[in-house]
Structure 1
Amino acid sequence: MENDLEIFEPTEMEKLPANLPPEVEEGNIEYKLKLVNPSPHRIEHLVTQMKWRLEEGQGEAIYEIGVEDNGLLVGLSPMELRASVHTLENMAERLGATLTILRERCVEGDYGEEDRRALEILVRRVPDDQKFIDLRMSVLGNVDAGKSTLLGVLTHGELDNGRGRSRLNLFRHLHEIQSGRTSCISHEIVGFNSSGEVVNYSESRSVEEICENSTKLITLMDLAGHHKYLKTTIFGLTCYSPDFSMLVVSANTGMAGTTKEHLGFALALKVPVFVVVTKIDMCRKFLIEKTVSQLEKILKSPGCKKIPVRVETEDDAITAAQNFDSEKIVPIFRVSSVTGANLDLLFKFLNVIPPLNKERDKLVQGPTEYQVDEVFNVPGVGNVVSGRLHSGSVREADELMLGPCDDGQFQKVTVKTVHRNRLPCRLIQAGQASTVALENVERGNLRKGMVLVSKELVGCSLEFEADIYLLYHDTQICKGFQTTIHIGNVCQTVQVMTIKEKDAVKTNHRAQVVFKFMNRPEYVRVGSRLLFRQGTTKGVGEVIKVYPYIDIPAR
């Protein structure tokens, strides 16, 4: 760590007389003026405090050294700074955490005094129940915006040749390679080690090695950009529940095609978004500026009400990442997958961005609810389902209830094996995506939209009530209107049975509506976000009441 301190030259440091916001009791950010030779009793208190900050940040905490509790940047002398960092190292070592210096500030001295310095340090400790801090990011944007190419560069560490070579690593079907367009959801991973360095794929590095060497892993979900694959894109947003989304915009076309639609879906589902403007190597500066200005205008509009922030320096990237969980700002990056311009800023942002799911610990303690989003058969293994665990935990040999079937019933199944990130594991917990091999179930009894739940959660509904907001309709929605609805992993046609206190719903109006599934009962949870569409009709909402289908007996 001493070597890290010595690499900063005073000429390289930015003079920052501005103060920080006052320290907040909650959260994972801690201010410390100095930590020079604390007593043993003080050390115990500091370690307990660090442990609490790490828990608040789900494994990550930010320490501001040389800063008073009111946010005043005081700074420390080089000797005091080294002693404070040494104390912080000892504290982190006791908790099994690592330190990474994010940035250094220089505070101008008064009356000829030597300039003093303040440090911002990232403390990271992988939670005891995980191998690494795990985040999910969906990638949105119009067709030909460069989404798959950018992901290929981020995950494989090799720049593109200008003709889309890097995207070939992500495509799963022959027609995708031939057309150059994504039609299904593909998953890739990018890892960061304890020093904040990128752990990428290579000829000698496998998925297992990436997971083994990473303390933070981000799963990148490449969603389709073409309008005819809109159902697939919406399914990825609702079913996989991404922690945040990356909206990719081409610098030469701007907010074209489905870009606005994808942005609207993410904001409606309350998924934090940041924007990446690609292909800056093939555009003149005035065209890039025009695209960014167009973006800023849309983000500031009454429909979005966001604060766009241009990321041009490493300091901007760190600040944007730390404030990203406020859901008010939208960072904007300008990158090139061919020249690699500003990709380092994007990596810095992804490394520092905190876990955004604040209720994970509470969900882990709850009953098991696993959402099935894909079903397949593996030779020698049998029937396998993939999906995301919303709450509780799943381990080998667990007995769970699978359903609902077409008649609304659930059947008892046994968990054979569990895989996460293509690796076998004994346990998965809330918020984690995985594949589960099942025993005592036939292939014909499996489908997308099912759930694996504990016995106390067994139940389904044919009708439910939702508080909806109609984004757009040519005229108005009345009783009897049919539409396709997405609720988590459920995608089915529903009919409007009742509109409470109204005869119809018009564009930009709210209402409480009772929907009925047209094909079969489904497992629906109160509080789930929903999205419905039919042609140009689009709306969002939240489930507020579920009407039980029948008293479900276990088989």
Structure 2
Amino acid sequence: MSVFTFDTDPQRVSSPWLRPTDPGEKPAAKQRSATRRGSIESGVLSDYGVTKLEAEPQDGPTEYKLHLLLRPRRKYERTSTASRISGSIQSRSPLDIKSSKTAPAVGSPSSQTRQDRLEHLTTQLLWRLQQSCPYHASSAVQGLVVPQLPSDVLSPGAEVKMGKLLPGLEASRGALYEIGVADDGTLAGLTKDELDESLATLRIMASSLGCKMKVLRMVMVGDCEWLDSSDSDDSSRMTSETRHHSAKLWVAEALVTPDLQSKQDGDRLPSPKNPGQVRVTESLPDPQCGPLTTDQLRVTLTGSTTSGKSTLLGTLSYGTLDNGRGKSRLSLLKHLHEVASGVTSSVTQELIGYHDGEIINYAHNGVESWIDIHDFTKTGRLAYLLDSAGHPRYRRTILRGIVGWAPHWTLLCTSADSGDATSAAGATTSSLDVLGPAGAGVDLADAHLDLCLRLQLPLAIVITKLDLANKPSLRKTLNKILTRIKGTGRTTRILTNGPTDPDDLKRVSSHDHNAVKRVMEEMAAKDDLLSIVPIVLTSAVNGSGIGLLHALLQSLPLPPGPTSRDYIGAALNPEQPSCLFHIEDQFSLPASYALATRYADQQTDQGTVVAGHLRFGTLSIGDKVVVGPFPPDGDESRSQTPEDRATPGSYGLSISHPSSAELSRTAARNAVSASAIKGEWHTASIVSIRNLRLPVQSLSAGHVGSIGMVFDPPKHEEAEGGLTVHHASGPQIRKGMVLAVPSKHMIATGLSLQAASGLTALFDDAEAESMSVGSLVNIYIASVRATARVLRVSKAESQADGSKLPTEDIDDLFSLSEEMDAERTVEANTGTENGVEVQLELLYNREWIELGSRILVLEGSNKDKSGLEGLVGKVVEIAE
């Protein structure tokens, strides 16, 4: 289960009274609505055209209850609804039915105390609330507090103290209670006093969980009669008087939702960034101020298809060895076609903790969710691993994994048997098998390695499937890797495996820790994360090297904390927001979140959850942010991302990377380039933050997380001719947008964030000169993926100083080093004497592009058929 790929559409709270109309049947509820704020729908059963509701669903947020009384019900002499109620819920005895016409009590006496029953009912309510929540964490039930009742009889108007919202419920869409209704949907009904008492019980249950209760509708379903005796003590004689009572029977529908709104405006605190705005804190969930540990390592696993990435990740995160056929990867897959084909097509995200040498994963006792991993790790390290696809067909996913999420380190997985033609189970397929006849001469493993080296990523190599390799194939694989890496001036260090121990899946051994420590000390002495490339040889089948890889993940150094001036100085880029969040994914936000803002009485469909990483600055709950850039209203073609547009695919070309000719035809249909537009940025309020699924109050620079926000209601504008323009509700978020807090200077001067319609990039690679003016290319910058037109290609002044990184001898491994030395060559990374400047124009959407950021350009021709051959440069100019 991914940290962000939670249930984007959990079960909705849907009233059974408003069911869809069946053909030939009277419309349910005569289209009555119970959504008017502060109102209660009241009526009789005939108004709804039903005699019975659908049976109570076993799962979901809807609960049917005959009553919520904490005492036995009275006995009725007659009820008009008795004939509808089955014996299982009436609990009448056959003897009573034969000997008496008096109707028995609804609900049999119970040995439960009032307190025990209240706790049972509250736990049931918690479960129903979790059914409409995208997050399901077992730890959510911790801290459940049920208050002691003040008296035997609950007063309907009694004030109930609101408790703190139970962690995990802040994203719940609520729970719907049908009171006076049997499990099979029979409308039994309650008298008014019993109904009021049941609603009072529900209010106490909700308050103990930090939720509020609202009655949506009350429906009269019948009538009843009962007798009671009252004794009177007269001075002259004792009398016993029997009274006859009659009353109507009612059914109520109540909605329980998380209380996300402050009790009063005075409970709101000023934001430290903007003293003029307020931050909602009083009744919001009580998350941590920040993560339990700030030592968070973000790692992307990349490599060619069938190199064993997913299998390796399954072994690391679940602590189980593979059976040689990919068993350990099954728990990570999201789609049936991935299970059938063995080819991963999506991004999988897992979390592994390390604390005092202990490995905190799903094999650890007590760990059932990601939140438990946070709890057990505490001040240790969290390794956040992303497993990307490897097949050329999914190269967009590959590139998003190593470019968009800005990983601290990249683990390049290469199978040890790649140089050995074998048909053994689990063996690595060749490029010819993957790509067919057109794949002849294409080395997919080498293409992944070349991309990582060109992007200058902090890199570690993981040799997989060691159990399938023989000495010649291992020699060939290592020689190819070592030659390419040393050709860039970087040093390799092969970490030697110790004896395999089953405990390597539970703890980091001292041998593995010391082996990694020596390499990390050497890297620290050089003060350069790019200086050394560690190499680990592993097997997910016999466990060889798995402990060493855990030790490496526990010890890899983190880069310095990012700032707004990392790419370029203030002189060239003076206007930067105070914080910047790159959006990598988007989900729906429960409408109840809107109640946490000052627009609680307006529309509630303006919310969304975005996932990504915080480039710099700090975000906190209650902050006012700007989101964008957005395309013009109503222009759906401009609002789509390139991957959303259908383009015909051909062999060697993925749908997300069309050929240059196809891009030209597409551009002809949308020839207008991106330009400045009104309404490019929308404002929103942050109502929730999660750091790797842990609810927090703030998110720090360099961390990944999900941000829940509610957009400000759109303003009505007057167009030419005096017509009023009504904007569509809910701006459409797309990948590649940013979320930012303007700086104080920008707020004071009224400046807005400036999106770009084009850019100029500088490349050191002389191949950039081969780009043709007018051709169309795909570009990747941070989370942005866009199609651009080449406007100009020209020489630039030299940007490189020609210096080279020193190279060192390779460690001896299995006595292979002497044989490799004769074949190894060292190539100088001289680049091009003069840089090449390329001016690009964005075709579809204006984008936020940071000056000085890295750019990857891929041409549609895909010369090597791997789809990963591209040019890496730096953005040196932004066109507004």
**TM-score normalised per structure 1:** 0.70
* 8 A Cα contact 1:321 1:350, kept in partner: no
Deviations 1:212-239 (A, max 9, x none): 1211001111011101111111112221
- In structure 1, the partner of 2:253 is none
Cα deviation for residue 284 of structure 1 reads: 2.1
- In structure 2, the partner of 1:12 is none
- In structure 1, the partner of 2:517 is 318
Cα deviation for residue 131 of structure 1 reads: 2.0
Deviates more, 1:140-149 or 1:382-391: 382-391
Deviates more, 1:285-294 or 1:484-493: 285-294
Alignment partners' CA distance in 2, 1:241 and 1:465: 22
* 8 A Cα contact 2:333 2:348, kept in partner: yes
- In structure 1, the partner of 2:684 is 413
* 8 A Cα contact 2:621 2:686, kept in partner: yes
- Secondary structure of the 1:446 match is coil
- In structure 1, the partner of 2:735 is 448
- In structure 2, the partner of 1:383 is 608
* 8 A Cα contact 1:418 1:427, kept in partner: yes
Alignment partners' CA distance in 2, 1:242 and 1:323: 22
Deviations 1:344-381 (A, max 9, x none): 11111221222123546988x97111111111214555
Alignment partners' CA distance in 1, 2:407 and 2:529: 16
- Secondary structure of the 2:762 match is strand
- Equivalent position amino acid for 2:359 in 1: V
- Secondary structure of the 1:525 match is coil
- In structure 1, the partner of 2:862 is 536
**Which structure 2 residues correspond to residues 456-535 of structure 1 after superposition, within 5 A?**
456=746, 458-470=753-765, 476-501=770-795, 510-534=835-859, 535=861
Deviates more, 1:157-166 or 1:452-461: 452-461
Greater strand share, structure number: 1
- In structure 1, the partner of 2:348 is 186
Segments of structure 2 that go 5 or more residues without pairing to the other structure are: 1-288, 420-429, 432-442, 498-511, 567-575, 594-606, 633-676, 713-728, 747-751, 797-830, 864-869
- Secondary structure of the 2:461 match is strand
Alignment partners' CA distance in 2, 1:217 and 1:143: 27
Provide closer, same or farther for how the CA distance between residues 186 and 322 of structure 1 changes in structure 2, counting only shifts above 3 A: farther
Q: Does 1:135 align with 2:297?
A: yes
Q: Does 1:219 align with 2:384?
A: yes
- Secondary structure of the 1:500 match is strand
Q: Does 1:208 align with 2:540?
A: no
Q: Work out which structure has the larger RCO, using CA pairs closer than 8 Å and 6 or more positions apart in sequence.
A: 2
Alignment partners' CA distance in 1, 2:620 and 2:562: 21
Alignment partners' CA distance in 2, 1:129 and 1:322: 30
Cα deviation for residue 136 of structure 1 reads: 0.4
* 8 A Cα contact 2:562 2:701, kept in partner: no
Cα deviation for residue 149 of structure 1 reads: 0.3
Q: Does 1:307 align with 2:633?
A: no
Deviations 1:279-328 (A, max 9, x none): 11122233223322222122222xx2222221105343222233444412
Cα deviation for residue 270 of structure 1 reads: 2.2
- Secondary structure of the 1:445 match is coil
Cα deviation for residue 246 of structure 1 reads: 0.5
Q: RMSD of the TM alignment (CA)?
A: 2.5
Provide closer, same or farther for how the CA distance between residues 240 and 341 of structure 1 changes in structure 2, counting only shifts above 3 A: same
Alignment partners' CA distance in 1, 2:754 and 2:625: 13
- Equivalent position amino acid for 2:761 in 1: A
Provide closer, same or farther for how the CA distance between residues 135 and 405 of structure 1 changes in structure 2, counting only shifts above 3 A: same
Q: Does 1:430 align with 2:592?
A: no
- Secondary structure of the 2:771 match is strand
Instruction: Give the counterpart of 2:619 among 394, 409, 414.
Output: 394
* 8 A Cα contact 1:471 1:539, kept in partner: no
Alignment partners' CA distance in 2, 1:499 and 1:279: 45
Deviations 1:233-268 (A, max 9, x none): 111222100001001111111596422222222222
- Secondary structure of the 2:757 match is strand
Provide closer, same or farther for how the CA distance between residues 371 and 358 of structure 1 changes in structure 2, counting only shifts above 3 A: closer
* 8 A Cα contact 1:472 1:536, kept in partner: no
Alignment partners' CA distance in 2, 1:361 and 1:309: 34
Q: Percent identity?
A: 28
* 8 A Cα contact 1:190 1:198, kept in partner: yes
- In structure 1, the partner of 2:447 is 261
Alignment partners' CA distance in 1, 2:767 and 2:337: 33
Cα deviation for residue 342 of structure 1 reads: 1.7
Provide closer, same or farther for how the CA distance between residues 471 and 266 of structure 1 changes in structure 2, counting only shifts above 3 A: farther
Alignment partners' CA distance in 2, 1:270 and 1:527: 15
Deviations 1:153-186 (A, max 9, x none): 0111111111111111211222112212111111
Provide closer, same or farther for how the CA distance between residues 144 and 131 of structure 1 changes in structure 2, counting only shifts above 3 A: same
- In structure 2, the partner of 1:41 is none
Alignment partners' CA distance in 1, 2:767 and 2:332: 34
- In structure 2, the partner of 1:342 is 545
Q: Does 1:297 align with 2:483?
A: yes
* 8 A Cα contact 1:322 1:354, kept in partner: no
- Secondary structure of the 1:369 match is strand
Provide closer, same or farther for how the CA distance between residues 460 and 174 of structure 1 changes in structure 2, counting only shifts above 3 A: same
Deviations 1:476-523 (A, max 9, x none): 212212100001111111111122348xxxx96731121110112111
Provide closer, same or farther for how the CA distance between residues 171 and 469 of structure 1 changes in structure 2, counting only shifts above 3 A: farther
- Secondary structure of the 1:461 match is coil
Alignment partners' CA distance in 1, 2:555 and 2:739: 34
- Equivalent position amino acid for 1:393 in 2: T
Deviates more, 1:424-433 or 1:529-538: 529-538
Provide closer, same or farther for how the CA distance between residues 374 and 149 of structure 1 changes in structure 2, counting only shifts above 3 A: same
* 8 A Cα contact 2:689 2:695, kept in partner: yes
Segments of structure 1 that go 5 or more residues without pairing to the other structure are: 1-127, 549-555
Instruction: Give the aligned length.
Output: 412
Alignment partners' CA distance in 1, 2:444 and 2:788: 25
- In structure 1, the partner of 2:879 is 547
Q: Does 1:246 align with 2:407?
A: no
- Equivalent position amino acid for 2:480 in 1: Q
Alignment partners' CA distance in 2, 1:151 and 1:471: 38
- Secondary structure of the 2:554 match is helix
**TM-score normalised per structure 2:** 0.45
Instruction: Give the counterpart of 1:329 among 525, 532, 536.
Output: 532
Alignment partners' CA distance in 1, 2:534 and 2:480: 14
- Secondary structure of the 1:305 match is coil
Provide closer, same or farther for how the CA distance between residues 366 and 141 of structure 1 changes in structure 2, counting only shifts above 3 A: same
Alignment partners' CA distance in 2, 1:204 and 1:212: 10
Alignment partners' CA distance in 2, 1:385 and 1:471: 39
- In structure 1, the partner of 2:163 is none
Provide closer, same or farther for how the CA distance between residues 219 and 458 of structure 1 changes in structure 2, counting only shifts above 3 A: same
- Secondary structure of the 1:152 match is helix
Deviations 1:382-422 (A, max 9, x none): 42111111111111111101111114411111112111212
* 8 A Cα contact 1:374 1:385, kept in partner: yes
Deviations 1:67-97 (A, max 9, x none): xxxxxxxxxxxxxxxxxxxxxxxxxxxxxxx
Alignment partners' CA distance in 2, 1:154 and 1:186: 13
Provide closer, same or farther for how the CA distance between residues 309 and 471 of structure 1 changes in structure 2, counting only shifts above 3 A: farther
